[in-house]
């Protein structure tokens, strides 16, 4: 069974600083994908970044990067140069290539960016 753990219910960061949101996962599959989504107060789920289990390099998308440590089964999201608009819930999710093909989400981390 797959499982996603986000141990930080809430995080604060000063504007323009970097912040790391933690995510660990558990799966017996060899092929899987890890995703981060942002959910602002408006409720929409916005895809941020993806990392495949076979990808050797950490994924990056603009100010977002994913610190992927396969042996430790962690997939932390790093947001650089935080902006006020980054304040939102952030969800880590995993999708296996076999078994259940839908996303399994963590419980989320609420990030608040302070001016």
Partner 1 sequence: GAGVSQTPSNKVTEKGKYVELRCDPISGHTALYWYRQSLGQGPEFLIYFQGTGAADDSGLPNDRFFAVRPEGSVSTLKIQRTERGDSAVYLCASSLTIRYHYEQYFGPGTRLTVT
How many other C-beta atoms can be found within 10 angstroms of the C-beta atom of residue 73? Answer: 16
- Candidate list 44, 62, 81, 84; residue touching partner 1; CB under 8 A: 44
Exposed, middle or buried, 44 (CB in 10 Å: 0-12/13-18/19+)?
Answer: exposed
Q: Which residue stretch of 16-24, 67-75, 78-86, 96-104 sits at the interface with partner 1 (rule: CB under 8 A)?
A: 96-104
CB contact at 8 A, 91 and 111: no
- Candidate list 84, 100, 112, 114; residue touching partner 1; CB under 8 A: 100
* 30 is a site residue for partner 1 (CB under 8 A): no
- Candidate list 20, 22, 24, 45; residue touching partner 1; CB under 8 A: 45
Query: Cα angle at 50 between 9 and 93, to 5 degrees?
Result: 40
Residues engaged in binding partner 1 (CB under 8 A): 4, 31-33, 35, 37, 43-47, 50, 52, 91, 93, 95-97, 100-108
């Amino acid at each position: 069974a797959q499982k996603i753990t986000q141990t930080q219910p809430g995080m604060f960061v000063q504007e323009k600083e970097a912040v790391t949101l933690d995510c660990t996962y558990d799966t017996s599959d060899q092929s899987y994908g890890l995703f981060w989504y942002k959910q602002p107060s408006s409720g929409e789920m916005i895809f941020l970044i993806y990392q495949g289990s076979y990808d050797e390099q950490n994924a990056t998308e603009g100010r977002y990067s994913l610190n992927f440590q396969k042996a430790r089964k962690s997939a932390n999201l790093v947001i650089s140069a935080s902006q006020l608009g980054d304040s939102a819930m952030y969800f880590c999710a995993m999708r296996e290539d076999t078994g259940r093909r839908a996303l399994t989400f963590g419980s989320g981390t609420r990030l608040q960016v302070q001016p």
